[in-house]
Amino acid sequence: MKDEVLAKTQYDEFRSFLEEACGIVLGENKHYLVTSRLNRLTQEFSFQSISAMLDTLKLGTNKVLKERIIDAMTTNETSWFRDNYPYEILRHELLPTMAKRKLGALRIWSAACSTGQEAYSISMTISEYQIANPGALPGFIEIVGTDISPTVLKIARDGIYDEINVMRGLSQERRERYFTHENGKWTLRPAIKNLARFADLNLLSSYGLLGRFDIIFCRNVLIYFSTDSKTDILNRMAKVLNPGGILILGGSESPTGYSPYFEMIRFPQGVIYKLKEGS
């Protein structure tokens, strides 16, 4: 089948669908990329044309199609200890503070966790801190990873990575300490895996079932969203943070101008955000 070019009106309609469904705003310059991804899905789902597929999408009855289309439009790029500084701050600043506060529990949310590297890097950092400071952290520790994409969540839940993925950001020492290795597959050991659990969650939907958190990692996803979605997400994240709670965003993201509930904290390693008192 010959690839079909998406008409401008169809592209604009598709952009509105995607923004409403998951918050992602597609620029004008993504027309070609979107068309080629939609052509692939047209073949995968055996539609006659992109138009036929988008007509079915509009009916709202094919949940699998909607999920796959959102999946194909999202960027799942991630790596172990991405940017390093959030994990340095966690180890040297946040965990010691949490330890001093003698909390009954420590809960961390990895929002938009992709294939799990962020959640498991947090888990490794906590495990290393516990070995160096036995008994300092609460007995109950939980990391909750969420994402809109069932495909990435399956990889996160399985905790099995290939050679290429396990190399991105992990030292040889950590690879050997935290994984078993067989036939090119690296499987996370239970001690690291069991600190984290994963759930399906669209950041535009309610956070009511998640409970409250001491720290939220929401990295490298807000950049794709509109001003209104950023504001809405950040304000609702403030509501699920415990007093003194911490928000860690991607290097090019900030709540400034979107949400009044956070203050910036500068460490030599980088910048994080703290829930303002009384928020």
Ligand X SMILES: C[S@@+](CC[C@H](N)C(=O)[O-])C[C@H]1O[C@@H](n2cnc3c(N)ncnc32)[C@H](O)[C@@H]1O
Site of interaction with ligand X (CB under 6 A): 22-24, 74-78, 82, 112-114, 118, 147-149, 152, 202-204, 219-221, 250
Least distance from ligand X to the Cβ atom of residue 87, Å: 12
Residues near 149 by beta carbon (within 8 Å), at least 6 away in sequence: 67, 70, 71, 74, 76, 114
Is residue 123 within 8 Å of residue 192, measured between CB atoms?
yes
Q: How many beta carbons lie within 10 A of that of residue 238, not counting itself? A: 20
Nearer to ligand X, 131 or 209 (CB): 209
Least Å from the CB of residue 262 to ligand X:
18
Q: Which is nearer to ligand X, 26 or 203 (CB)?
A: 203
- Measured from the CB atom, the residue of 195 and 203 that comes closer to ligand X is 203
Amino acid at 249: L
Nearer to ligand X, 47 or 229 (CB): 229
Instruction: Kindly state the smallest distance separating residue 65's Cβ from ligand X, in Å.
Output: 17
Q: Which is nearer to ligand X, 47 or 114 (CB)?
A: 114
In angstroms, rounded to a whole number, what is the distance separating the alpha carbons of residues 233 and 20?
14
Residue 231: both structure tokens together: 């504001």
Contact yes or no for 25/67 (Cβ under 8 A):
no
- Smallest distance from the beta carbon of 72 to ligand X, in angstroms? 11
- Asked whether 169 and 82 are in contact (CB, 8 A), the reply is yes
Contact 140, 106 (CB under 8 A): yes
